[in-house]
Amino acid sequence: MIVRRLAGVLAGAVTGGLELVLLVLAWPLARWWAPRLVALERARLRVLLGHDSDPGTAGAGYLALRAAVGVLGGYVATSLIFVGLLFVGGACWAMLTGESSPVALEFPGIRLTTESWAIGLTSGIFLLAVGTLCCQAVVAAERRLARRFLGPGPQERMRRRIAELTATRSGIVRAVDDERRRIERDLHDGVQQRGVALAMLLGRARHAFAGTPGPAADLVAQAYAESRHLLDELRSVAWRIYPTALDELGLRAALAGVAERAGVPVTVHHGLTGRLATEVETALYFVAREAITNAVKHAGARDILVVLSEDERTVRVVISDDGAGGADPAGGGLSGLARRVLALDGEFEVGDAPGGGTRVRATLPKEPPCG
């Protein structure tokens, strides 16, 4: 690797010298020779320095900067490595032939006597190390200039695209949750309030018709009863869309509400030490709620256990029931939960519980991908 990079730096010094000469002597013809030299530099970067880039519109400006870096950096790096090799070679030759001579070293309060080959070997190794660092610095500078003027290569673009998609899918989850909150607020502050007003008016009308039998009184009473059912249904729909308790009181309170509405005994072991990121708490809540709903509605479960736990980096929820089992992970509800969890770089599993029934497990990172 270092040999190939050194060859790339040496080649860059040679092409840099050529570019400087052309910039000084043939500047008016830069439109003709600059694209050819840019293509040459792109090939050198790809073959010797491991940086691939797409054809771009870089011209004489890039060549001028690259030539300065290539000539100066190449000269310093190769000179240091060359002199270091001379020192190391001379020291090795002196050791083999015995032609070394003693050298006295005097420092304040210290007097040392050593062999010339030891000094040459130490100096050579030091120069080789410094030359190698200079070579690495020249390569880094060349790559930075290439990214700036020639654009990223396929691998860099793929890396950026993966990072962008990771952040975007997490952002989509947050956007969906924000939309759920908005719909819940609209239902609570708009439709539900109008439903309450309608129920109150019908209640007053029913009171006015009290003691007056007839079809009109029966219709008003029936309308009042339907308005009460409508309000109950609106509250249930708003709760299913997004529970306000999740934001206001936290995951423990939200799951306690789910357990109360389940219709069967639901035990929740809350092993979390504090609040989590909003999207993580929301994902854990919907996983638990959907698993509890499926266990009651489809598996006939009579006892459900929800366990929340965490470690240094992840948080986990496991929902077990004693129902009929055989849950289909490809079903609409569970597959939607799986997509939500995977969008946050988590893991989602559905399987049979050891004692029968179904076990749903979701593991999420405490810090979701940034969007």
At 80 the pLDDT is: 92
Calculate the alpha carbon distances from 204 to 71, 155, 210, 301, 322 in Å: 93, 72, 10, 43, 48
Same domain, residue pair 237 and 325: no
Same domain, residue pair 113 and 207: no
- Is position 165 within any domain? no
Per-residue pLDDT tens for 237-268? 766 677 777 777 888 888 888 888 888 899 99
Q: Per-residue pLDDT averaged across 214-224, rounded? A: 78
Give me the DSSP letters along 264-306. S-EEEEE---S---HHHHHHHHHHHHHHHHHHHHTS--S-EEE
- Is position 341 within any domain? yes
Tell me the pairing of strands 314-321 and 304-310: antiparallel
Same domain, residue pair 220 and 335: no
At 128 the pLDDT is: 92
Among 222, 241, 260, residue at a domain's last position: 241
Residues with Cβ within 8 Å of residue 284, at least 6 apart in sequence: 251, 276, 308, 315, 317, 362, 364
> For residues 62 and 308, which has the higher predicted lDDT (pLDDT)?
308
Distance CA 259, CA 267 (A): 7
Asked whether 346 and 364 are in contact (CB, 8 A), the reply is: yes
Indicate the pTM of the whole model: 0.54
At 177 the pLDDT is: 66
Same domain, residue pair 119 and 236: no
- Is position 229 within any domain? yes
pLDDT band for 173, please (50, 70, 90 cuts): low
Per-residue pLDDT tens for 114-160? 777 888 888 899 999 999 999 899 988 888 888 777 776 666 667 76
Same domain, residue pair 39 and 99: yes
Residue 297 belongs to what domain range?
A: 248-365
Region of 266 (left: φ > 0; alpha: ψ -120 to 50; beta: rest) is beta
User: Above pLDDT 70, what percent of the chain?
Assistant: 83
- Is position 60 within any domain? yes
At 169 the pLDDT is: 64
- Is position 159 within any domain? no
Same domain, residue pair 66 and 6: yes
Kindly tell me the sign of the dihedral angle through the C-alpha atoms of 106, 107, 108, 109. Answer: negative
Least confident piece of the model among 28-32, 51-55, 72-76, 326-330: 51-55
Most confident by average pLDDT, 2-11, 165-174, 322-331: 2-11
Same domain, residue pair 177 and 256: no
Per-residue pLDDT tens for 30-39? 778 777 888 7
Same domain, residue pair 256 and 212: no
Among 193, 223, 241, residue at a domain's last position: 241
- Is position 161 within any domain? no
Q: Work out the angle at residue 55's Cα, subtended by the Cα atoms of residues 53 and 57, and round it to the nearest 5 degrees.
A: 115
307 has pLDDT over 90: yes
pLDDT band for 108, please (50, 70, 90 cuts): confident
Per-residue pLDDT tens for 65-99? 888 888 998 899 999 999 999 989 888 888 888 77
Same domain, residue pair 124 and 185: no
At 83 the pLDDT is: 92
Q: Per-residue pLDDT averaged across 281-302, rounded? A: 86
320 pairs with which residues across the strands? 305, 359
pLDDT band for 363, please (50, 70, 90 cuts): very high
Among 198, 214, 241, residue at a domain's last position: 241
CATH number of the domain within which 346 lies: 3.30.565.10
The pair phi, psi for residue 24, each rounded to 5°, is -80, -45
Same domain, residue pair 318 and 333: yes
Mean pLDDT of the chain: 80
Distance from CA of residue 216 to its chain's centroid? 64
At 301 the pLDDT is: 85
306 has pLDDT over 60: yes
pLDDT band for 219, please (50, 70, 90 cuts): confident
Give 188's DSSP letter. I
Q: Per-residue pLDDT averaged across 162-176, rounded? A: 66
Q: What is the dihedral of CA 290, 294, 297, 300, to 10 degrees?
A: -140
At 317 the pLDDT is: 92
What is the 3-state composition of the chain as percent helix, strand, coil, each rounded to the nearest 5? Answer: 65, 10, 20
Asked whether 370 and 167 are in contact (CB, 8 A), the reply is: yes
Query: How many other β-carbons are positioned within 10 Å of the β-carbon of residue 46?
Result: 14
What is the three-class DSSP state of 94?
A: helix
- Is position 269 within any domain? yes
Domain count, the chain: 3
Same domain, residue pair 285 and 225: no
Distance CA 307, CA 203 (A): 45
- Is position 158 within any domain? no
Same domain, residue pair 146 and 178: no
Least confident piece of the model among 40-44, 78-82, 328-332: 328-332
Asked whether 308 and 360 are in contact (CB, 8 A), the reply is: no
